[in-house]
Amino acid sequence: MDRVDERRIFTVTDLKQYTYCPRIVYYTYCLPLIRPTTYKMDAGVRAHEKAGKREERRTLSAYGLEEGQRHFDVWLKSSILGLTGKVDMVIEAGEGDGRELIPVEYKQSRRRIGTHIRHQLTAYGMMLQETWGGRVRRGFVYSLLKRRAEEVRLTERMQEQVRDLVTEMHGMVERERMSPPPRSPRQCVNCEFRRFCNDVL
């Protein structure tokens, strides 16, 4: 994939939201003045701040590692993907040819890991590989409610999907054409944009 035109750089959160519901990205970029802020968003920010402080005191056993260096709130930017974002934590383990970079995201949820979260982790892994070098083959989602980490394999297939999704986002925003709603109306129940979609719920 060649370097993208930098006229628009999406965030990794945009990518995650697009996988969950493309309309969120449409509203964000095509109707930017209407985006509301919800209690859920604010609560998530506070929970992430507390999680980082606790993480500093923990061992790496939750990730199946005996040792490694932790980097918190790491900003990444990829000129190839055309994405920017802040990953909650990066674990740097091993040295030389065995050096491994592992992106970790904290989630305030007990639910199983959805495809949108897998795409988010995969994007961070691709960005780490581009900007930091080293091997990136897996990531983790740490549930703040279950206090447990779950491994996510960052496969070639997922990487290809990330590239395709970024291309789709550019196309949607440039055409200013809103996508159909999600297949499941359950995804719309707590959405901050629900009142703007007149064809669901």
Domains of the chain: 10-19+43-166 (3.40.1350)
Q: Looking at residue 33, what is its pLDDT? A: 72
Q: How far is CA 86 from CA 70, 104, 154, in A?
A: 14, 11, 18
Among 145, 152, 201, 177, CA closest to 27: 177
Phi, psi of 88 (to 5 degrees): -60, -45
Interval 24-81: pLDDT, tens: 999 999 987 766 665 555 555 555 566 666 766 678 999 999 999 999 999 999 999 9
Q: CA 139, 74, 3: angle at the middle one, nearest 5?
A: 85
Q: What is the pTM of this model?
A: 0.87
